[in-house]
């Protein structure tokens, strides 16, 4: 039977993560000293989202087992574990982690496959039976203390939160007010495309003209990909641009759409976001052109 009031409720589980995008290999990113803090931050924020608290679930260790990133989790309250399981089952944890990874790493979309295990039990097949899942997690007591590396990353993370909060003239308690933390990294220093790392930067006039010249009829699709994170392109803006610049043709329509994006997003109108939208719509040759691929080889 589960613990009564006198004994703390403690359980453990393993979260298996794998990116289905060939250019985003999570274990390799975590093994990179430059990328590790960004991956950790994304994990930390997504787990906080899933329980509603920075202390809802602890990470004890992150294992790199290609192609998986495996996170050992520790739960100290039944209610927190229940919230986590609900978030996992409903897909909100997956969506949150995908978003935080995309922002933290300044990469194109990061589609994820996830699996949850407690000992030999695969919890994905029993998620509707919450009590049974809780029992399995409760039976698995953590077999380690928090890894030293995780402790160091936690300290760096807390320092970053405190620093940002002081700058915003806000006191921080329990590191729960973190919305501001996930935004600045959308201007991250680099991103991955076709297995190569590129410096992230704001979109240049040269990028702007090349895009308008080469995107052709797909400018609307690219605009709809960008509109997910850009209010200035929300419906019906794109259709209105198509009508307004119909006589001028595709070049001007595409140019005006990207101009809206650049003007509204300012410094956050980065090449990584544009490349992500191009990749989402299969416009790899245009993405390669913008990134200066001067090669006859086909990148698959």
pLDDT of residue 62: 94
The angle formed by the CA atoms of residues 104, 190 and 257, to the nearest 5 degrees, is: 85
Residues of the chain with CATH 3.30.70.680: 11-159
pLDDT of residue 6: 55
Rounded-to-10 torsion of CA 144, 148, 150, 155? 130
Query: Tokens standing for 298?
Result: 């086909």
User: Phi and psi (nearest 5°) for 56?
Assistant: -70, -35
Radius of gyration of the chain (CA): 22
Would you say the C-alpha torsion 148, 154, 157, 162 has a positive or negative sign? negative
Distance from C-alpha of 182 to C-alpha of 189, rounded to nearest angstrom: 14
- Put residue 198 in one of left, alpha, beta given phi > 0 → left and psi -120 to 50 → alpha: beta
pLDDT of residue 160: 67
* Sequence-ordered list of residues with C-beta below 8 angstroms from that of 38, at least 6 positions apart, any chain: 29, 104, 105, 185, 188
Distance from C-alpha of 138 to C-alpha of 75, rounded to nearest angstrom: 9
Q: What architecture does CATH give domain 11-159?
A: 2-Layer Sandwich (3.30)
Instruction: Assess whether the previous peptide bond of 236 is cis (omega < 30° from 0).
Output: yes
Name residue, tokens 């453990």: 12
pTM attached to this predicted model: 0.55
Would you say the C-alpha torsion 281, 25, 49, 186 has a positive or negative sign? negative
Residue 204, CB-side half-sphere exposure with 13 Å CA sphere: 7
Closest to 77 in 3D by CA, of 92, 58, 96: 58
pLDDT of residue 190: 81
Asked whether 51 and 57 are in contact (CB, 8 A), the reply is: yes
Q: Does the domain formed by 190-291 have CATH 1.10.533.10?
A: yes
Q: Over 105-138, what HEC string results? A: HCCCCCCEEEEEEECCEEHHHHCCCHHHHHHHHH
Asked whether 161 and 175 are in contact (CB, 8 A), the reply is: yes
* Sequence-ordered list of residues with C-beta below 8 angstroms from that of 91, at least 6 positions apart, any chain: none
* Sequence-ordered list of residues with C-beta below 8 angstroms from that of 286, at least 6 positions apart, any chain: 210, 211, 214, 215, 278
**Which tens digit of pLDDT belongs to each residue from 258-299?**
999 999 999 899 999 999 999 999 999 999 999 987 543 443
pLDDT of residue 1: 45
Which parts of the chain sit beneath pLDDT 50?
1, 3-4, 165-166, 168-187, 295-300
């Amino acid at each position: 039977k589960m613990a009564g009031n006198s004994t703390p409720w403690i359980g453990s589980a393993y979260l298996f993560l794998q990116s289905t995008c060939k250019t985003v290999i999570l274990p390799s990113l975590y093994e990179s000293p430059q990328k590790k803090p960004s991956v950790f931050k994304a994990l930390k924020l997504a787990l906080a989202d899933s329980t509603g608290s920075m202390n809802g679930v602890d990470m004890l260790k992150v294992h790199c087992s290609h192609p998986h990133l495996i996170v050992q989790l520790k739960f100290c309250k039944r209610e927190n574990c229940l919230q986590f399981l609900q978030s996992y089952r409903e897909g909100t944890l997956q969506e949150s982690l995908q978003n935080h990874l995309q922002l933290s790493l300044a990469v194109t979309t990061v589609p994820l496959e996830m699996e949850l295990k407690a000992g030999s039990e695969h919890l994905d097949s029993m998620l509707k039976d919450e009590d049974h899942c809780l029992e399995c997690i409760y039976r698995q007591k953590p077999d380690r203390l928090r890894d030293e590396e995780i402790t160091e990353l936690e300290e760096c993370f807390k320092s970053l939160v405190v620093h940002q909060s002081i700058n915003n003239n806000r006191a921080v308690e329990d590191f729960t007010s973190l919305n501001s933390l996930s935004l600045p990294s959308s201007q991250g220093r680099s991103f991955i495309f076709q297995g190569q790392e590129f410096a992230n930067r704001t979109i240049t006039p040269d990028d702007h003209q090349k895009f308008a010249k080469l995107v052709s009829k797909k400018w609307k699709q690219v605009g709809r990909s960008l509109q997910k994170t850009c209010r200035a392109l929300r419906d019906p803006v794109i259709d209105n641009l198509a009508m307004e610049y119909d006589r001028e043709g595709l070049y001007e329509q595409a140019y005006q759409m990207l101009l809206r994006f650049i003007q509204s997003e300012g410094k956050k109108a980065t090449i990584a976001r544009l490349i992500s939208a191009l990749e989402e719509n299969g416009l790899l040759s245009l993405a390669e052109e913008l990134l200066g691929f001067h090669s006859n080889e086909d990148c698959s």
